């Protein structure tokens, strides 16, 4: 990733953090996990892999339920089960909608 792209990602992460920090801090015990999951999902969306035109989308065939900061990751479609790509083990494909997410 080029320096400018990296700085852009850092600034986007800061914006997401600022958007969610008050709801996380002020959450009661019932809504705290939801607030953290919303934050983790927004961060994950920032790193969603969208350029699939040149990719081999063959998966390993093993289902995984990835975690982000200790919390189960949920796709935008609501699914929480993914498969890793054979050629790119850091990329996960949603089992329901086939959206791709990068763990890098």
Q: Which parts of the chain fold into alpha helices (H)? A: 3-25, 32-46
Question: Domain limits of the chain?
Answer: 1-46, 49-104
* Region 17-32 average pLDDT: 88
> Does residue 63 contact residue 82 with C-beta atoms inside 8 Å?
yes
pLDDT one-digit tens code per residue, 35-81:
888 888 888 877 765 544 455 678 888 899 988 888 889 998 999 99
Query: Which two three-digit tokens encode residue 98?
Result: 């086939």
27/31 Cα distance (integer angstroms)? 5
* Region 16-28 average pLDDT: 89
């Amino acid at each position: 990733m080029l320096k400018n792209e990296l700085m852009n990602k850092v600034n986007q992460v800061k914006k997401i953090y600022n958007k969610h920090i008050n709801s996380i801090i002020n959450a009661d015990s019932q809504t705290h996990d939801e607030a953290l999951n919303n934050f983790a999902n927004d961060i994950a969306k920032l790193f969603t892999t969208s350029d699939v035109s040149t990719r081999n989308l063959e998966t390993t065939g093993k289902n995984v339920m990835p975690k982000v900061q200790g919390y189960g990751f949920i796709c935008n479609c609501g699914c929480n089960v993914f498969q890793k790509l054979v050629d790119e083990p850091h990329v996960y494909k949603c089992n329901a909608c086939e959206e791709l997410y990068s763990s890098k």
